[in-house]
Structure 1
Amino acid sequence: MPLFESPHASFDRYMEDKPRVFKAISPDNRGTQRLNEEEWRIQMEPIGFLFLTAWPVVNMRLRCKTKGNEYPSGVPNHTSMVLEFKITKWDLEGVTEGKNKPSEFRLSMEGVLYPDRRKGGRSRIKGHFHMSISFAPPPMLALVPPHVHRDVTQAVN
Structure 2
Amino acid sequence: MSEIAARSFVPCQHQVLVGHFSSRKWKEKLNMHERQCHALPEPKSKQPLIKNQMAMNSATYSSRMTTDIPLYESPGASFDGYLEDKPRVFNAIFPDKRRSQQLNEEEWRIQMLPINFLFLTVWPVVEMRLRCKSGGRDYPPGVPEEITKVLELDVIRWKLQGLDNIFQPSQFSLGVKGALYPDRQGVRTRLKGQLEMNISFVLPPVLAMVPENVRQPVAESVLRGLVENMKLRVNSSLLADYSKFKQETPKNRV
TM-score band, normalised by shorter chain? 0.7 to 0.9
* Correspondence for 1:125 among 191, 195, 199: 191
Cα distance in 1 between the residues matched to 2:159 and 2:149: 31
- More relative contact order in 1 or in 2 (CA 8 Å, sep 6+)? 2
Query: Hey, what does 2:148 align to over in structure 1?
Result: 80
Query: Hey, what does 2:169 align to over in structure 1?
Result: 102
Cα distance in 2 between the residues matched to 1:132 and 1:111: 12
Segments of 5+ residues of structure 1 without an aligned counterpart are: none
Cα distance in 2 between the residues matched to 1:99 and 1:73: 38
* Correspondence for 2:132 among 64, 75, 78: 64
Cα distance in 2 between the residues matched to 1:145 and 1:27: 36
Give the CA deviation at 1:151.
2.1
1:99 is paired with a residue of what secondary structure?
helix
Cα distance in 1 between the residues matched to 2:194 and 2:171: 27
Cα distance in 2 between the residues matched to 1:152 and 1:74: 31
RMSD: 1.8
Query: Hey, what does 1:9 align to over in structure 2?
Result: 77
1:155 aligns with 2:218: yes
Partner amino acid for 2:202? A
1:137 aligns with 2:137: no
Query: Hey, what does 1:115 align to over in structure 2?
Result: 182
1:45 aligns with 2:113: yes
Cα distance in 1 between the residues matched to 2:85 and 2:173: 30
More displaced, 82-91 or 128-137? 128-137
Give the CA deviation at 1:145.
5.2
**Which is richer in strand?**
1
Q: Is the radius of gyration larger for structure 1 or structure 2? A: 2
Cα distance in 1 between the residues matched to 2:210 and 2:83: 49
CA deviations on 1:31-61 (whole Å, 9 max, x unpaired) are: 1100000000011232322322111111100
2:91 is paired with a residue of what secondary structure?
helix
Give the CA deviation at 1:107.
0.6
Cα distance in 1 between the residues matched to 2:177 and 2:167: 28
1:14 is paired with a residue of what secondary structure?
helix
Partner amino acid for 1:155? V
Cα distance in 1 between the residues matched to 2:114 and 2:132: 29
Cα distance in 2 between the residues matched to 1:141 and 1:114: 40
More displaced, 99-108 or 3-12? 99-108
Cα distance in 2 between the residues matched to 1:76 and 1:152: 37
Give the CA deviation at 1:30.
2.7
Tell me how many residue pairs correspond in the alignment.
152
More displaced, 129-138 or 62-71? 129-138
Cα distance in 2 between the residues matched to 1:74 and 1:129: 11
Give the CA deviation at 1:11.
0.4
TM-score calculated relative to the size of structure 2: 0.56
Partner amino acid for 2:186? K
**Which is richer in helix?**
2
